[in-house]
């Protein structure tokens, strides 16, 4: 039963994160870039390409217009 509670909490957290991303795409992009730079510095550039790809994907996802029928914006 504890697993089910954890999954329920995780689903609620994911829903809250999606809602925040829809409402604040600029803030999400800014913080993703900042986090990417921090991790890149800490790893001394070893994972630069992977970090850059992840930040780019965040930007791509947040800059897309909402899908029809999702009821957002």
Give the start-to-end residue ranges of the domains of the chain: 24-65
| pLDDT in the model for residue 38 | 97
Cβ-based neighbours of 5, under 8 Å, separated by 6 or more: none
| pLDDT in the model for residue 7 | 92
Q: What is the pTM of this model?
A: 0.71
| pLDDT in the model for residue 69 | 63
Tokens at 21, concatenated: 């991303």
């Amino acid at each position: 039963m504890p697993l089910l509670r954890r999954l329920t909490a995780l689903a609620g957290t994911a829903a809250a994160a999606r809602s925040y991303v829809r409402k604040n795409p600029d803030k999400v992009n800014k913080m993703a870039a900042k986090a990417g730079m921090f991790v890149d510095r800490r790893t001394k550039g070893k994972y630069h390409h992977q970090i850059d790809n992840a930040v780019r994907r965040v930007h791509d996802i947040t800059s897309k217009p909402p899908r029809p029928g999702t009821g957002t914006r």
